[in-house]
Amino acid sequence: MKIKFLIKNLNIILSVIMILLCLAFLFIIDANNGSNKYLITIIEKSLVYAVVALSMNLVIGFTGLFSLGQAGFMAIGAYITAIFTIPIKFRESIYYVEGINADLATMTLPIPIAIILGGLVAAIIAAIIGIPILTLKSDYLAIATLGLSEIIRAVIASPMMNTITNGSYGLKRIPSFSGVLECFIYCGICILLMALVINSSYGRDFKAIREDEVAARAVGIDIFKAKEISFVISSFFAGVAGGLLAMFMRSIESRTFSVNLTYEILLIVVLGGIGSITGSIIGSFVVNIGKEALRVFDKPFTIFGFMVDWPIFREGFRMVIFSILLMVVVLFFKKGIMGGKEFTFDNIIKFFKKKGEKHE
Amino acid sequence: MQYFLEQCLIGISIGGAYALIAIGYTLVYGILRLINFAHGDIFMVAGYIMIFTTANFPIYISIPITIIATCILGVVIEKVAYKPLRTAPRMSIMISAIGVSYFLQNFATYLFTALPSNYPPIYFLKKQIHIGYLKTNMADILTPIITILLVLILIWILKHTKIGLSMRAVSRDYEAASLMGIKINNTISYTFAIGSILAAVGSILYFTNRASVFPYSGSMPGLKCFVAAVFGGIGSIPGALIGGFFIGLCETLIKAVGYSTFSDAFTFVILIIVLLLRPTGLFGEKIIDKV
Amino acid sequence: MSEKILQLSSMGIKFGGIVAIDELNLEVNEKEIVAIIGPNGAGKTTAFNCITGIYTPTSGDIYYLGRSILNVKPERITALGIARTFQNIRLFKELTVFENVIIALHLRYKDNLFTSTFKLNFKKEEEKIKEAEKLLKSQNLYKYKDEISQSLSYGLQRRLEIARALATKPKLLLLDEPAAGMNPQETNELTEYIKRIRDEYDVSILLIEHHMDLVMDISDKIYVIDFGKLIAEGTSKEIQNNDKVIKAYLGEEENA
């Protein structure tokens, strides 16, 4: 009886164990954060990017809407988080150009509330703009959301917003995470919530729309409503992730949130696997760790005792390799690392069982 | 008044360059139904090729080299990044296009660093000209003329040559055209070649007035030119021409009255309005214009 | 006295200048099996698309249970009780057989985003899963429950599409060429199958079909369309002896 229970819930048990191991690991690095600065930076960045990547996967991979507005929604979240959390004593020196808006000068919010507020504002904007935009067809939707993202960025950077967003000068001294553990908890909650949505009946509706809009309507799904919900949830979490990114980077400017940020996240989603939750998370870690690992190619290096100092190895070469690798994935491994499947222990067991059967 | 007219000239000049790029988008979209996100970066690379060639050759050699090299680049990109995905969902090809754009930007950063590189001054184009009391330079005057000339040649090609005929046929009905014995892949290559040539010319005209190129200088103009193509009605060449001039003019005038931060955003506001009110653009409905 | 489920009253639709359907009158009564036949391109599928709200007719009206459903959105029409299958099978291809059916059940097990996300309604959820399983069992699809629907054989895909349509608990089921691509034996089975569905699920059925044996066998009433026009209606006997029909459609077969 007990064993049966164990086997039945093996997936959950192993997953919990794995999360606990992660927590323990993070706790250890957190404890000696002096010597692990580099590692912590990479983990934090990967976690934040995983949230954005998953929020993008929600619309692109699960709902089939090719939306490229993520950077804009992140900008909203990032700026709201920054505006409400920068310590009051620094504000005057940051807004040195035109001073700070009188109402905002002394207003602060606790970090989690500021982050959620950022997400909500992003979600509201998405809800309003979604009504006309989501009826557009795939590539027009892509370019319209891309445009929206640029409009948001331009508004933030405009001189009229100087007293609120500090215009094109950016914001500094944003309070950071107290440790990698805090970042893990914030990101973990976001990812968990999105995973729950994806696995709910709404998530199934999203997938139905992705597969076939006409058939989805024929079984009674209000596709417009479902698309709107997906877009709004995705934008909410993009806003939240923007807030987290602001905390990670500690200083932001409007240029951070250009189209290229969206492209980079899109490539994470593709690499991890379109339509896979765990894929987006793995993709984010692979990309961020990979970028760092490839750093050796940015200067002459030694391999097996030989000094390789061809002139091609210099600043920027890692990004060339990296983009070539990405193109290889896009062209030859269209399904990415996970290919729409999930990394669960159930699937791993199944995978090995199948292999075993083949061998017999 | 004088200021206004001078700004108009600048706007029309930028618009001409935009129009040339927009045609590249329109041609490719017409045939592959693909927003070629890398087109703006091809335009950027053309700028770098020009810098590189003028450092080694006189202008009258470097201009043709630039045009030919850009043309080859465009065709190679199509063969490598788009051809293998011909049967894949449209989203995959768009992602591939974004990947190419990412690659070109990183590659340019690697070769030339992220800092702006100086664009070679082409003295002939830089020459100051006075028309009445208006001060302007040769590039501003020549750009719209060259643009319109090239468009006329292009329209002639499309109407009266075999390549043009097959391009029109493929864009109208991909499968039927292939059944009729039209070599689809060749036709697509020609389309990319023409688009890239126009982008190279556009690049020379555009950067002459800007004096510097950096790895991201293609992405924003690229997106704007796509908007221009949508505005004029995607698939329509006269539409792309008018769209290019319109976007260039509006942008310059907005900058002129001091709202430069909004000049990019304005383009996208136009895009969203056009998509909502008239998704086919100005000339989208006339199928005869479709390529 | 049986109830009128569906009634088209001089419904017509034009695309540009082309008349796809002209003045179509048609009735489906309770628990009837009605067939629409006609040569390819006669406008049969277009009629289905009008009934299910994908196209809006340019003239005439469509009544469902006595109420006009003109300008009602497709998803609302499904909610009202008209379900359909498609000529070229439109399953949620990459999803499993089970998911295909349970998605169609969402319509009747409404849930809000919050409770659905946090699985607070597990009783309802369990019920839903049970109903999906029951439906799959009754259609002999249960053993393929976790297969990706695309990987099923053609015949099974058709059956799954019907199961999915039934999950919305329709009063009227529209079947667009259910026998297309089936061999004679499968077609024979289909005859029994359609009758069984009608009795078990209490639905009226309107179908488009080219297999004349099937149509003649199961239809209570047959409508013949040619070039968008209704050229004959009646029982299978009446249709078989109708000169116009023989000329337009069956004639070829008789000559052969």
- Could you give the dihedral angle defined by the CA atoms of residues A177, A291, B81 and A330, in that order, rounded to the nearest 10 degrees? -60
Average pLDDT for B49-78: 92
CA distance B77 to chain A (A): 11
Query: Are B92 and A138 in contact (CB < 8 Å)?
Result: no
**pLDDT tens digit sequence for A102-152:** 788 888 899 999 999 999 999 999 999 999 889 887 788 988 899 899 899
- Which chain A residues contact residue C104 at CB under 8 A? 219-220
Q: Which of C78, C96, C106 to mutate to test the interface with A (most CBs of A within 10 A)?
A: C106
- What are the residues whose beta carbons fall under 8 Å from the beta carbon of A283, sequence distance 6 or more? A50, A53, A268, A269, A270, A271, A272, A273, A336, A337
Q: Does B167 score more than 50 pLDDT?
A: yes
Query: Are A219 and C78 inside 8 Å of each other by CB?
Result: yes
Per the listing, tokens 């008789």 go with C254
User: What mean pLDDT, rounded, does chain A reach?
Assistant: 87
Q: CA-CA distance, A148 to A133, in Å (whole number)? A: 10
Residue B289 has pLDDT above 50, yes or no: no
ipTM of the assembly?
A: 0.88
Model confidence pLDDT, tens digit, residues C135-170 = 999 888 999 989 999 999 888 899 999 999 999 999
**Rg of chain B over all Cα atoms, to the nearest angstrom:** 18
The β-bridge partners of C175 are: C207
Q: Is A105 on the interface with B (CB under 8 A)?
A: no
Q: Would you call C117 and A229 a contact, using CB atoms and an 8 Å cutoff?
A: no
Contacts of A219 in chain C (CB under 8 A): 78, 83, 103-104, 106-107, 164-165, 167-168
**Does A219 sit within 8 Å of C83, measured CB to CB?**
yes
Give chains near A: 3+ CB pairs under 8 A: B, C
Q: Are A77 and A171 in contact (CB under 8 A)?
A: no
**Is residue B253 in a domain?**
no
- Over the stretch A88-108, which tens digit does the pLDDT of each residue have? 888 888 888 788 887 888 888
Distance CA A56, CA A58 (A): 5
pLDDT at residue B225 tops 70? yes
Classified as helix, coil or strand, C233 is: strand
Contact assessment for residue B206 and residue B25, using Cβ atoms and an 8 Å cutoff: no
Please name the chains neighbouring B, where neighbouring means 3+ C-beta pairs under 8 angstroms: A
Does the pLDDT value for residue B288 go beyond 50? no
Contacts with A267 from chain B: Cβ below 8 Å = 95, 98-99, 102
Shortest distance, CA B170 to any CA of chain A (angstroms): 20
Dist CA A32 CA A301 (whole Å): 29
Which chain A residues contact residue B94 at CB under 8 A? 66, 139, 142
> C107–A220: do the CB atoms touch at under 8 Å?
yes
Give the residue from chain A lying closest to B274, CA to CA: A144
SS3 at position C217: helix
Higher pLDDT among residues B137 and C207, named by residue: C207
pTM of the model: 0.89
B244: in domain = no
For residue B108, pLDDT beyond 50:
yes
**What confidence score (pLDDT) does residue B291 get?**
30
Quick one: pLDDT at residue B284? 66
Of C93, C99, C106, the CB nearest to A221: C106
Name the DSSP letter for residue C53. T
Tell me the chain C residues in contact with residue A236 when contact means C-beta distances shorter than 8 Å: none
Residue type, position A103, single letter: D
In this structure, chain B runs to a length of: 291
Instruction: Count CB neighbours of A354 within 10 A.
Output: 10
pLDDT at residue C164, as a whole number: 94
Instruction: Choose among B199, B200, B212: nearest CA to B51.
Output: B212
Quote the minimal CA–CA distance from A254 to chain C in Å.
33
Angle (CA) C38-C40-C44 rounded to 5° is 60
Give the separation between CA C62 and CA B160, rounded to whole angstroms. Answer: 51
With touching defined as 3 or more inter-chain CB pairs under 8 Å, the answer for chains B and A is yes
Structure tokens at B161: 């040559």
What kind of architecture, by CATH, is found in domain C1-81+170-256?
3-Layer(aba) Sandwich (3.40)
Identity of the residue numbered A37? K
Torsion of CA C29, C35, C37, C41, to 10 degrees: 80
pLDDT score at C249: 63
Q: Report the run of H or E that residue A49 belongs to, with start and end.
A: helix A37-57
In a domain, B231, yes or no: no
Residue to test with chain A: of B105, B261, B267, most A Cβ within 10 A:
B261
Tally of domains in chain B: 1
Is residue C107 a contact partner of residue C78, using CB atoms and an 8 Å limit? yes
Domain that holds residue B99: 15-217
Collect the ranges in chain C with pLDDT lower than 70. 1-2, 249-256
Looking at the predicted structure, is the pLDDT value of residue A2 above 50? yes
**Sorting pLDDT into bands at 50, 70 and 90, what band is A225?**
very high
* Distance (Å) from the alpha carbon of C88 to chain A's nearest alpha carbon: 11
List of chain B residues whose C-beta atoms are within 8 Å of the C-beta of residue A60: 91
Option in C78, C103, C167 nearest A208 (CB): C103
d(CA A250, CA A173): 6
Name the least confident of A312-316, B203-207, C30-34. A312-316
**Residue B137, helix vs strand vs coil:** strand
What pLDDT does residue A116 have?
A: 96
Nearest CA among C65, C82, C68 for reference residue C11: C68
Angle between helices A111-133 and B260-277 (to 10 degrees): 50
Kindly state whether residue B115 falls inside one of the protein's structural domains: yes
Q: CA of C74: how far to CAs of A193, B62, C44, C162, in Å?
A: 31, 60, 18, 17
CA distance A132 to chain C (A): 17
Alpha-helix residue ranges (DSSP H) falling in chain B: 2-32, 39-56, 59-77, 90-112, 123-126, 138-160, 162-172, 174-179, 184-208, 219-232, 237-256, 260-277
- Of C124, C118, C114, whose CA–CA distance to A196 is shortest? C118
Would strands C172-176 and C4-15 be described as parallel, antiparallel, or unpaired?
unpaired
Name chain A contacts of C92, Cβ cutoff 8 Å: 207-208, 211-212, 215-216
**Spatial distance between the Cα atoms of A262 and A52, rounded to a whole number of angstroms:** 9
- Domain range annotation of chain C: 1-81+170-256, 91-169
Task: Please judge whether A200 and C113 are an interchain contact, meaning their C-beta atoms are less than 8 angstroms apart.
Answer: yes
Q: Which residue, B95, B56, B53, is CA-closest to B70?
A: B53
**Residue B287: pLDDT above 80?**
no
For B82, which DSSP code? I
Q: Is the pLDDT of residue A309 over 70?
A: no
B1-47 pLDDT tens trace: 778 888 888 888 889 999 999 999 999 988 888 889 999 999 999 99
- Residue A134's contacts (CB-CB under 8 Å, 6 or more residues apart) are A65, A141, A224, A227, A228, A231
Strand partners, C249: none
Residue identified by tokens 């990109």 is B77
- Residues in Cβ contact with C72 at an 8 Å cutoff, skipping those fewer than 6 apart: C53, C80
**What b/e sequence results for B6-42 when a residue is b if at least 16 CB atoms lie within 10 Å of its CB, and e otherwise?**
bbbbbbbbbbbbbbbbbbbbbbbbbbbbbbbbbbbbb
Other beta carbons less than 10 A from residue A230's beta carbon: 28
Q: Is residue B276 part of a domain?
A: no
Burial status of residue A63 (CB atoms within 10 A of its CB: 0-12, 13-18, 19 or more): buried
DSSP B278: -
Write out pLDDT tens, residues A24-43.
888 888 887 777 788 889 99
The average confidence (pLDDT) of chain B is 86
Cα separation, C109 vs C128, in Å, equals 7
Residue A248: predicted pLDDT: 95
Per-residue CA distances from B92 to A62, A270, A274, A327, B89 (Å)? 15, 9, 10, 11, 6
Strands C204-208 and C33-37: what pairing? parallel
Instruction: Say whether pLDDT at A320 is over 90.
Output: no
The answer to whether the CB atoms of A322 and B106 lie below 8 A apart is yes
Amino acid at A108: T
